[in-house]
Amino acid sequence: MRIKEGERAVLLDLPSTSGRLSMERYTGKWLALYFYQRDFSEPSWVELNILNTKINEIRELGGEVVGVSPDSLQTHTKFAVERKIMIELVSDQSGELASLYGALKQTDPIIFRKRIALIAPDGTLFKIYVGRRSAMHVFELLSNMRMIYRLAKADPINNVKMIYHF
C-alpha cells in the first residue's frame, strides 16, 4: 500500500533518537518526513544539513522535521552527536515506512530514494516532494510552509479550505 496525497498519513512505531516515532506526538503540527539514503553519506548530508539549519524557522511555522533512513539507531545517535543534528532521526531498517511513501528504492540491500513527505496537522498527506534536485525540495518545502502560515494567520477560518487545495 502506498499513501497518496490527500489520504490519511501513517507513522509506524519505529525506534528514533527521541524514543519512538508516533503520530500522537505530531498531531496539530506540520510534519516533514525526510527520507534519505544513509547517515554519513555526503549526498544525503546536503539536504539534512539545510533542514537542520532551518529547523527553528520550521518550528516557528508550526512544523517539525523527522529524518528517516535504514541506518540503525546506534548509527543515528553517533551521526546526530557528530553532526549536531537537532531533528529526530528514525531507524527504518525494514524499509516499511519508506515503502508507504514511495521512498523504498530497493530491498537487498535496503536503499531509499531521497524525498520529503509533508503531513498536515490533521494527519493527511499534504504533499510529496520528489525528483532529482532534492536540495531544492527543502527550499520548496520552506516556501510552502511560509505561505501556509501567512494564509492561516491572515484569515484562519476562510483560508483553511484554500490551504488544503494549495
pLDDT digits (tens, 9 = 90+) for 76-126: 999 999 999 999 999 999 999 999 999 999 888 899 999 999 999 999 999
pLDDT-based confidence at 27, cuts 50/70/90?
confident
- CB contact set of 87 (below 8 Å; sequence gap of 6+): 48, 51, 52, 55, 64, 65, 66, 67
pTM value surpassing 0.75: yes
The domains found in the chain, sorted by start residue, are 15-163 (3.40.30.10)
Cell numbers given for 146: 511560509
